[in-house]
């Protein structure tokens, strides 16, 4: 969780010819699958693809709103995040939040052309048997877990040759026959 403070500011509205106070707020933020899902529900496009290609200021401000835990601030407050807070948020979003490392730097190497959305990530969670409580984890930590499940669930990507499998089965059967005194 990241905590930031957005300072209140005063600006002049040219249309109404009045000074307007943009309220500040202390926010607790969470970069999670839930936040991404909320953002995608509004914008109707892949968050990860948008992050890669570049987010507009309004899309970023809205993602900060989606990351907010607890009471949301007024929309004008999110538009006033500021450069320093934006940098803190980006650093927080890029943090791996795990000690797990992979030799293959790109866990989605085979999925380069696939559009990854929150629903696809929920599917991966279901396939890997990851409980939905993990949707609140830092997103990068969740993706590391999904990647680990993919490696471990597939035997690390290394399939045993058929001859070795048959040899192993034969050895196991022989050991069972010896243990039970069976010939069959």
What would the pLDDT profile of 7-65 be if each residue is shown by its tens digit?
A: 988 888 888 888 988 888 999 999 999 999 999 999 999 999 999 899 999 999 999 99
Residue 175 within a domain:
no
Specify if 136 maps to a domain.
yes
Asked whether residue 172 is domain-assigned, the answer is no
- Please give the residue range of the domain that contains residue 83: 2-157
- The total number of structural domains that make up the chain: 1
CA–CA dist 184, 83 (Å, integer): 74
User: What does the pLDDT look like over 123-143, one tens digit per residue?
Assistant: 999 988 899 999 999 999 999
| Residue of higher predicted confidence among 173 and 2 | 2
Residue 126 lies in a domain: yes
């Amino acid at each position: 969780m990241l905590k930031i403070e957005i300072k209140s500011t005063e600006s002049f509205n040219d249309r109404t010819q009045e000074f307007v106070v943009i309220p500040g707020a202390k926010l607790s933020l969470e970069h999670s699958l839930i936040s991404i899902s909320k953002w995608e529900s509004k914008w109707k496009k892949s968050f990860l693809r948008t992050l890669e290609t570049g987010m507009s200021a309004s899309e970023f401000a809205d993602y900060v709103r989606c990351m907010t835990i607890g009471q949301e601030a007024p929309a004008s407050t999110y538009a006033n995040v500021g450069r320093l807070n934006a940098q803190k948020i980006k650093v927080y979003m890029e943090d791996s939040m795990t000690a797990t490392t992979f030799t293959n730097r790109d866990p989605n190497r085979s999925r380069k052309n696939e559009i990854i959305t929150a629903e696809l990530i929920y599917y991966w969670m279901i396939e890997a048997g990851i409980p939905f409580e993990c949707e609140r984890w830092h997103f990068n930590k969740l993706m590391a877990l999904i990647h680990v499940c993919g490696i471990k669930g597939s035997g690390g990507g290394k399939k045993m040759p058929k001859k070795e499998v048959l040899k192993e089965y034969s050895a196991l059967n022989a050991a069972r026959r010896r243990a039970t005194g069976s010939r069959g």
